Amino acid sequence: MLVGVLAPQYLSYIHKAKVAADQANLKNYYTEIQMDYITTGKYNSMVPTVQNSPADYMQREIHFLNGQTVKLKAGYFAVTEDTRSQGGYNLCYHCDLCTAADADEQTKQKHLETCMITFL
């Protein structure tokens, strides 16, 4: 009985840890691509943006400019060229539960509020 009570809480902690790891890696990636843009004044063709390929909307791996690759643990992200006409990039992350087909609306909303992150 105790397992039945504790298992959902344990899974929640695991999910939060995976999302936090994804977000930390994406913050580093965002910093890297922004610095590249600031330094060169140009968009880098090595940064997969939605404008270049709509298929890049649900990326599950981060390909850093130095060649390092990191697999996301709990979600996906998309990069766009800045939408505020200030230059640089925008990056948005969703956990898998934000858009899961089998999740109820309450679960999706909870995850949109707690797991989604946008870097502008």
Q: What is the pTM of this model?
A: 0.87
- 65 is written with which tokens? 């400019």
Q: Cβ(38)–Cβ(48) under 8 Å? A: no
Q: Facing residues of 61 across strands? A: 71
CA angle 51, 74, 92 (to 5 degrees): 30
- As a whole number of angstroms, the distance between CA 43 and CA 89 comes to 8
- 89 is written with which tokens? 């990039």
Looking at residue 110, its pLDDT comes to 83
Mean pLDDT by 10 residues, the chain (120 residues): 65 92 98 97 93 80 97 96 88 89 82 87
Looking at residue 3, its pLDDT comes to 57
What amino acid occupies position 82? D
